[in-house]
């Protein structure tokens, strides 16, 4: 059967209209003609009859087998347009439109954190990313996504898996690049005993990791893993949220700063360890609110240790259950809000009736963003512009900053 792909699904798979409904073909681009055997709603054993002008040779040697990147077969220009289209589509779903600033995409080899799957084998350790929709682990020594410093940790990570991994169950290794070495967090490793702890500490030393956390316990701390946010140095707790690339973080921060202009009193909601709060405190008073106590503690400590910042206050608070109330926005000149994927329904409802002049809304989920945007607009805010930031290149993931202001 021959079909023509007419659109991409939310994970980047090609979709064609067949006689009985949608047909899904992975790794395709709109306009491509493809021939294969129809099995359910999938095309199997397919071959491309007419390729798209947007098709490129995947830059990564692992693209065929690794499920980490879904869009390596598409040109950068196509992916940029597609991601802009995802955000425009989400807004249109709420009956909204916006002016879009040109997309900012992080370069290849810039990811500073990754979660890697691993399994101990007869002879050593198998480590990498999952194949597409599969449990199979694909080794990725030439990954085009990860920062070279992360690739350089692979031998050390393999040594950890050999020591404390299992041959029957998978281990998950989250590795984050820091100024003082890799911060490694392992989940699913063998239970700790004295001997294992000693050996893990030895591997941490040998490979120069900053910290090793094993099944939730910090088993080795050579030196605190540090991140820089503006002038401030922060030591995030294990597993703390960080933007995926330094370039993406700078793009988000620059755009947030542009949105809030010369505001002198700022509230940063879902503040994490201070990605926005700390650099913004170089020119404005900031109240940072975050749900995880270990993260607010790291933020507060960094603020106290940094010379020349304006006043920074922090608060640990569940903003889903207990959003900031009307009177807490009194005198606030700008709000930065960067919720998790679920969005910030309760907090947006309060903001929508507030008098805050500017809101810089950061989001990793266009659907919840569009829903929240509708609430602000219904409350009288104007959506001035949207900046899409792509720090997950070759994936279907999108991030954005939007400026809302009260006319
Ligand atoms: C997308 S991250 C943004 C963090 C920070 N703005 C940054 O850029 O690094 C969302 C943050 O919201 C926090 N969070 C999640 N649920 C929360 C809740 N119910 N109340 C307050 N904070 C929450 C997470 O711990 C995380 O730090």
| Residue pLDDT, tens place only, 360-376 | 999 999 999 999 999 99
* CA atoms of 112 and 147, how far apart (whole Å): 6
| Eight-class DSSP state of 246 | H
Question: What tokens were used for 175?
Answer: 């590795």
pLDDT at 101: 98
CA 161 to CA 156: how far, in whole Å?
9
pLDDT value at 166 more than 90? no
Q: Taking residues 321-343, report their average pLDDT.
A: 97
What pLDDT does 20 receive?
87
Ligand 1 in contact with 368 (CB < 6 A)? no
Average pLDDT over all residues of the chain: 96
Pairing of strands 21-25, 2-8: unpaired
Give residue 327's region: left, alpha or beta (phi > 0; psi -120 to 50): alpha
Give distance in angstroms: CA of 338 to centre of ligand 1: 7
pLDDT at site 28: 96
CB-count burial class (<10 Å; 0-12, 13-18, 19+) for 21: exposed
CB 158 within 8 A of CB 127: yes
The residue-averaged pLDDT of 106-116 equals 97
Q: How far is the CA of 232 from the centre of ligand 1 (A)?
A: 19
Kindly state the average pLDDT of the residues 209-237: 97
Contact criterion met (CB below 8 Å) for 3 and 34:
yes
* Ligand 1 centre distance from Cα of residue 275 (Å): 11
Binned at pLDDT 50, 70 and 90, residue 236 comes out as very high
Name the closest-CA residue to atom 12, ligand 1: 270
Q: Is the CB of 275 under 6 A from ligand 1?
A: yes
Evaluate if residue 11 carries a pLDDT over 90.
no
Residue 250 pLDDT greater than 90, yes or no:
yes
Averaged over 112-141, what is the pLDDT? 93
Asked if residue 316 has its Cβ within 6 Å of ligand 1, the reply is: no
Which mutation among 112, 236, 241, 401 tests ligand 1's pocket best, with the greatest number of atoms within 8 A of CB?
241
Classify the C-alpha dihedral 223-290-402-359 as positive or negative. negative
CB 306 within 8 A of CB 277: no
Read off the pLDDT of each residue in 271-295 and give the average, rounded to a whole number. 98
pTM given for the model? 0.95
Cα-based distances in Å from 91 to 85, 100, 252, 338, 379: 10, 12, 20, 18, 17
Tell me if residue 364 is catalytic.
Answer: yes
C-beta of 239 in contact with ligand 1 (< 6 A)? no
Spacing, Cα 291 to ligand 1 middle (Å)? 7
Average pLDDT value for residue range 248-254: 98
Contact indicator for 224, 180 with CB cutoff of 8 Å: yes
Within 10 angstroms of residue 99's Cβ, the number of other Cβ atoms is 9
Closest residue (by CA) to atom 15 of ligand 1? Answer: 340
Location of structure tokens 């810089």? 360
**Which residue's CA lies nearest to atom 5 of ligand 1?**
272
Q: Quick check: CB of 279 below 6 Å from ligand 1? A: no
Residue with structure tokens 């995926």?
244
Number of CB atoms found within 10 A of residue 95's CB: 9
- End-to-end Cα separation, the chain, in angstroms: 56
Q: What is the pLDDT of residue 142?
A: 95
Q: Collect contacts of 354-357 with beta carbons under 8 A, ≥24 apart.
A: 354/326, 354/329, 355/329, 355/406, 356/267, 356/329, 356/332, 356/406, 357/263, 357/333, 357/405, 357/406
Q: Is the CB of 249 under 6 A from ligand 1?
A: no
How sure is the predictor about 10, in pLDDT bands with cuts at 50, 70 and 90? confident
For 13-67, what is each residue's pLDDT tens digit? 999 998 889 999 999 999 999 999 999 999 999 999 999 999 999 999 999 899 9
Q: Which of 66, 69, 143, 364 is catalytic?
A: 364
Please give the average per-residue pLDDT across 86-100, as a whole number: 98
Residue with the smallest CA separation from ligand 1 atom 6 is 271
- Asked if 384 and 403 touch (Cβ cutoff 8 Å), the reply is yes
Strand 285-290 to 265-269 pairing: parallel
Q: How far is the CA of 38 from the centre of ligand 1 (A)?
A: 44
Asked whether 340 lines ligand 1 (CB < 6 A), one says: yes
Q: Evaluate: CB of 276 within 6 angstroms of ligand 1.
A: yes
Q: How many residues does the chain have?
A: 407
CB 375 within 8 A of CB 227: no
- Which of 136, 115, 116, 120 has the alpha carbon at shortest distance from 168? 120
Nearest CA to ligand 1 atom 11: 270
Which residues, in sequence order, are CB contacts of 61 under 8 Å at separation 6+? Answer: 142
Q: Is the pLDDT of residue 132 over 90?
A: no
In Å, how far are 62, 205, 282, 331 from 265, measured between CA atoms?
48, 44, 12, 7
Identify the band that residue 209 occupies on the pLDDT scale cut at 50, 70 and 90: very high
CA of 339 to the centre of ligand 1 (A): 5
Q: Is 324 in the pocket of ligand 1 (CB under 6 A)?
A: no
Distance 174 CA to ligand 1 centre (A): 18
Place of tokens 């030393």: 205
Q: Is 345 touching ligand 1 by the criterion CB < 6 Å?
A: no
382-402 in b/e form (b: 16+ CB < 10 A) is: ebeebbbbbbbbbbbebbbbb
pLDDT of residue 168 exceeding 90, the answer is no
Q: Does residue 314's CB lie within 6 angstroms of at least one atom of ligand 1?
A: no
Distance 388 CA to ligand 1 centre (A): 19
Q: How many Å apart are CA 394 and CA 396, to the nearest integer? A: 7
Q: Phi-psi category of 382—alpha, beta or left, where left has phi over 0 and alpha has psi -120 to 50? A: beta
């Amino acid at each position: 059967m021959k079909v023509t792909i007419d659109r991409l699904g939310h994970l980047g798979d090609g979709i064609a209209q067949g006689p009985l409904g949608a047909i899904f073909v992975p790794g395709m681009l709109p306009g491509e003609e493809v021939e294969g055997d129809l099995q359910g709603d999938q095309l199997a054993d397919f071959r491309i009859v007419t390729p798209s002008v947007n098709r490129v040779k995947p830059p990564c040697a692992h693209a065929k087998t690794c499920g980490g990147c879904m869009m390596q077969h598409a040109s950068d220009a196509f992916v940029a347009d597609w991601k802009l289209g995802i955000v425009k589509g989400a807004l249109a779903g709420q009956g909204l439109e916006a002016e879009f600033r040109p997309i900012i995409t992080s370069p290849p080899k810039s990811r500073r954190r990754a979660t890697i799957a691993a399994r101990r084998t007869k002879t050593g350790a198998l480590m990498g990313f999952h194949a597409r929709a599969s449990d199979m682990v694909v080794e990725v020594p030439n990954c085009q996504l990860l920062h070279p410093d992360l690739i350089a940790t692979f031998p050390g990570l393999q040594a950890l898996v050999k020591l404390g991994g299992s041959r029957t169950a998978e281990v998950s290794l989250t590795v984050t690049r820091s100024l003082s070495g890799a911060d490694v967090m392992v989940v699913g490793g063998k239970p700790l005993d004295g001997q294992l702890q000693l050996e893990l500490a030895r591997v941490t030393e040998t490979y120069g990791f900053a910290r090793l956390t094993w099944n939730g316990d910090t088993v080795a701390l050579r030196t605190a893993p540090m991140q820089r946010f503006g002038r401030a140095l922060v030591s995030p707790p294990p597993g703390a949220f960080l933007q995926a690339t330094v370039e993406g973080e700078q793009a988000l921060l620059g755009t947030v700063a542009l949105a809030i202009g010369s505001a002198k009193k700022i509230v940063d909601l879902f503040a994490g360890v201070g990605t926005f709060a700390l650099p913004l405190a170089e020119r404005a008073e900031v109240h940072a609110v975050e749900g995880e106590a270990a993260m607010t503690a790291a933020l507060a400590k960094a603020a106290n240790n940094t010379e020349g910042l304006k006043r920074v206050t922090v608060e640990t608070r569940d903003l889903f259950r207990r959003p900031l109330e009307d009177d807490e926005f009194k005198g606030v000149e700008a709000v930065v809000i960067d919720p998790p994927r679920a969005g910030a329904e309760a907090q947006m409802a309060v903001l929508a009736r507030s008098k805050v002049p500017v809101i810089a809304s950061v989001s990793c989920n266009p659907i919840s963003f569009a829903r929240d945007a509708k609430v602000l607009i219904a409350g009288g805010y104007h959506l001035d512009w949207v900046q899409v930031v792509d720090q997950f290149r070759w994936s279907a993931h999108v991030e954005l900053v939007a400026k809302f202001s009260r006319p």
